Chains A and B, each alone.
Chain A
């Protein structure tokens, strides 16, 4: 099966979502900058969102099995939650920066066991 020759289907979207998700996860795991970690989170959320939208699309799945409106609604919720999360995370980051004069997450290991 060749993705490039096939007409665009669900799998295409899923692959793109998987790539975004994994890049997001790797971004979270490697960035020392707290803002970098946040960006990784955004990527992960977008990957997930892409899946929701894809599953809900009648163009991609046919009218009988598609997820319908639910997928889009949940995607919207995720966007809103991402905004909220970003705001709080940024506040935490700024607070951390204020207190420790750094944004390096490796420094924030006071909860070490």
Chain B
């Protein structure tokens, strides 16, 4: 099997299946079974097939890998249909950091850690297959196509997205069951005081889910940044539809609008980045491509990190030329000859690039920041994080799939994909944005009482972790956390959905003790909580979060050691870990432990149906084990892991500062696995998490301290956090109010100036036409017509007399008429008329 042709075909099929499902559901809708119940079967089977195809693609990838570990296709498949994909998945994901391999990694790192900068070791670009499926158009240099770029990251993301989406589709079948018949929405009060009664929208939910999966997979497989942008927006639209699923609720439609508009702000920056890239590099494509004449053309990555520069970041020639346009114009003017000036410019370019002016470097920074702007919007990073908590108005499966596991992960994924393009300055900005986000969101999560909002803020916070990891050079750490987080966050969200399903409320203050009523949900959620705080026995084994979060903290520590000035980043990561532990266990204790707070809710609660808690169990298995290194399988992360295969070329080395921040050093990620860093980092992470859990237990588990007391004690802080750092209010004052004022002003101008002008014109025209009507139309035109009619009428009256009705008279008339004719002719006849 040739992976170069097989992989794109497999992944492309997996990508298009949800589109087909979407089309079917759009066309048939409610006709699919009773009230569209078959829509769920269509959508679920599409995404399940997508997952199977992705899993096969993963096997192909592993099978064709040149890595020392050979592929193992002899793994037995379980007999049960539900378990079969899971086994495949376990093969794909592989595990990491089992003790023996760990040591080996450390050796690796130590070996290279001295003075060797790994330039030779990892200099080759990662194995990737890129190409175009369909060329949409070529406008001069601009080439827009539907293409693919497949590397280890793509394959891994495909498996992750399709797997989680499959679980959530199953879950949604149970969760959205109410939509199969008419629904009374008790949250919508009509004008007459009653509640809204509407038809169920079961099929529509699955229709949007399918479209969403298609879009998300489109982002992952995209071979060029233009295609990424298209699917980026599609994902945004799906999110809008899904958040606004209960659009009759005012809060839901507002939240949908908010998410969409806030994302637009980020996309604005992204478009600037796109323009900067295309304008100076002349291509959208990630990888190298072949043009219609058969010439090899450099893609974005190889222009930014050319082979002759040992894959180190270098301002591309195009950007240098664009920035130094004045000098270029001067050279062209001096030489006069086009070809001669081209060679002169080409000679000058290195000088311009490395000179004190650093021509083009600013452009590269702008491109990086612009792309990152889009990611800030989509991944809900500070300052655009406000939309994600509100997005919890959507149904819970949506929150689980869209707003924790996949869509918001698209931003992180794009940062990872564009990692080669980011200069150290941009990376530092990313790191700071991530750190700020993770801290703000974590603090807000402490005081939130809505169970889904706690999870939403925790998502924002975890996304901040990923951004931080990427920003400080921990590419594998960030991507690894992206994948582990997807598993346990979707698990947590689906668990919370199960709770909400049972209690019919989101408020944790009304819950408590639910673990007796719904054990499956409670203990799978406990697994999720443990995974997210990174629980584990240090250096031995742990939940998946243990590996990924530790990798981030290790890298943060390594970064801080190199750059003491940016110590705050490490403190944020470590502090954030403690806060995460606190609020996650606060959530679990409030919901499931202790005596019930509201008897009525407790009485009412019941375990969810099997179709809902089975996905929870499946996901919790992965939340535990996705980070493990199983014997005979490549691990997900680590120095030889799957993600390492996708690491962009040239990023595995200490980077000694950019053009503007020469003292900044982005440390080699492999160096973070050496013992001197790993041990303190692990201990710090473990102790902070333990502390957080301890405090949560004191307040909510054992209830030794009353949280009310603490609330009173820190009243201003509590209020500050409860209002989410006053972000919404701040935006209200800074953006919304001025916008309203401007709008009102514009409306005033419209009404007073334009409307008056137009009304005046209209009045004038009416007056003129009135005048014309009175002076010309009526007397002249109408008069003429009336006169004519009158004449005709009177003529008819006169001739009427002759119409006697008597045949004999008529004969008489004829005879007289003929005689008269003869007489007339005989009087006036001219013989020459006859021709002779």
Binding site for B on A (CB under 8 A): 25, 28-32, 37, 40, 105-106, 108-113
**Interface locus among B760-768, B805-813, B827-835:** B805-813
Closest chain A CB from B668 CB (angstroms): 117
Say how far A61's CB is from chain B's closest CB, in angstroms: 17
**In the complex, are the beta carbons of B806 and A28 less than 8 A apart?**
no
B216 to chain A, nearest CB (A): 88
Closest CB of chain B to A4's CB: distance in Å? Answer: 26
Asked if B806 contacts A29 (CB within 8 A), the reply is no
A29 near B799: Cβ-Cβ < 8 Å? no
* Closest Cβ–Cβ distance, residue A32 to chain B (whole Å): 8
Apart from the given pairs A25-B815, A37-B807, A110-B805, 13 other A-B contacts in the complex at a CB distance below 8 Å: A25-B811, A28-B807, A28-B811, A29-B815, A32-B808, A40-B811, A106-B808, A109-B806, A112-B803, A112-B806, A113-B799, A113-B800, A113-B801
Task: Flag if B802 contacts A29 (CB, 8 Å).
Answer: no
Is A113 a contact of B808 with CB atoms below 8 Å?
no
User: How many residues on B have C-beta within 8 angstroms of the other chain's C-beta atoms?
Assistant: 14
Question: B804 contacts the other chain (Cβ, under 8 Å)?
Answer: yes
Set of chain B residues within 8 Å of A109, measured between Cβ atoms: 804-806
| Nearest Cβ on chain B to A38's Cβ, whole angstroms | 11
Smallest Cβ distance from B602 to chain A, in angstroms? 101
Tell me the residues in window 764-823 of chain B with beta carbons closer than 8 Å to chain A beta carbons: 799-808, 811-812, 814-815
Contact B803 A111 (CB under 8 A): yes
Q: A43 → chain B, closest Cβ, in Å? A: 12
| Shortest distance between the CB of B805 and any CB in chain A (Å) | 3
Which of chain B's residues have a CB closer than 8 A to the CB of A108?
805, 807
Give 13 CB contacts A-B under 8 Å: A28-B811, A30-B808, A32-B808, A40-B811, A105-B806, A106-B808, A108-B807, A109-B804, A109-B805, A111-B803, A113-B799, A113-B800, A113-B802
Of all chain A residues, which has the CB nearest B802? Answer: A113
Establish whether residues A106 and B799, one from each chain, have CB atoms under 8 Å apart when the complex forms: no
Shortest Cβ distance from B809 into A: residue: A29
Whether B805 pairs with A111 at a CB distance below 8 angstroms is yes
Q: Which residue of B lies closest to A32 (CB)?
A: B808
Q: How far is the CB of B350 from chain A (nearest CB, A)?
A: 110
Contact partners of B805 in chain A: CB under 8 A: 108-113
Least Cβ–Cβ distance between A39 and chain B, in angstroms: 13
Contact A29 B812 (CB under 8 A): yes
3 smallest beta-carbon distances between A and B, as pairs: A113-B803, A112-B805, A109-B805
Which listed residue (B804, B808, B814) contacts A112, Cβ 8 A? Answer: B804
Cα A37 to Cα B814 with chains together (Å):
14
A29 and B804 form a contact (CB under 8 A): no
A109 to B807, CA, bound (A): 8
Q: Give CA–CA (A111, B806) in the complex, Å.
A: 9
How far is the CB of A104 from the nearest CB of chain B, in Å? 11
Cα distance, A28 to B813, chains bound together (Å)? 12
Which residues from chain A contact B802 at a C-beta distance below 8 Å? 113
Interface pair B806/A106, CB less than 8 Å apart: yes
Q: Which B residues are in CB contact (< 8 Å) with A31?
A: 808
B808-A28 in contact (CB<8A): yes
Q: Tell me the bound Cα distance from A32 to B804 in angstroms.
A: 15
Of the listed residues B803, B806, B808, B815, the one surrounded by the most CB atoms of chain A closer than 10 A to its CB is B808
Interface centre among A25, A29, A112 (most CB of B within 10 A): A29
What's the least CB distance linking A41 to chain B, in Å?
10
What residue of chain A has the Cβ atom nearest to residue B808's Cβ? Answer: A29
The answer to whether A105 touches B803, judged by C-beta atoms less than 8 angstroms apart, is no
The distance from the CB of A111 to the nearest CB of chain B, in whole angstroms, is 5
- A57-B799 Cα distance, complex, nearest whole Å: 45
- Docked complex Cα distance between A105 and B815 (Å): 18
- Across the two chains, which residue of chain B brings its CB closest to A30? B808
Q: Which residue of B lies closest to A113 (CB)?
A: B803
Chain A proximity of B644: nearest CB distance (Å) = 110
Residues of B within 8 A of A32 (CB): 808
Q: Tell me, in angstroms, the Cα distance from A40 to B802 when the chains sit together.
A: 23
Q: How far is the CA of A113 from the CA of B815 in the complex (A)?
A: 21
Distance between Cα atoms of A105 and B812 in the complex (Å):
14
Return chain A residues, CB-CB under 8 Å to B799: 113
For window 420-478 of chain B, which residues contact chain A by CB distance below 8 Å? none
Q: How far is the CB of A93 from chain B (nearest CB, A)?
A: 12
Q: How far apart are the CA atoms of A31 and B801 in the complex, in Å?
A: 23
Smallest CB separation, B23 vs chain A (Å): 73
Could you tell me the distance between the alpha carbons of A112 and B800 in the complex, rounded to whole angstroms?
8
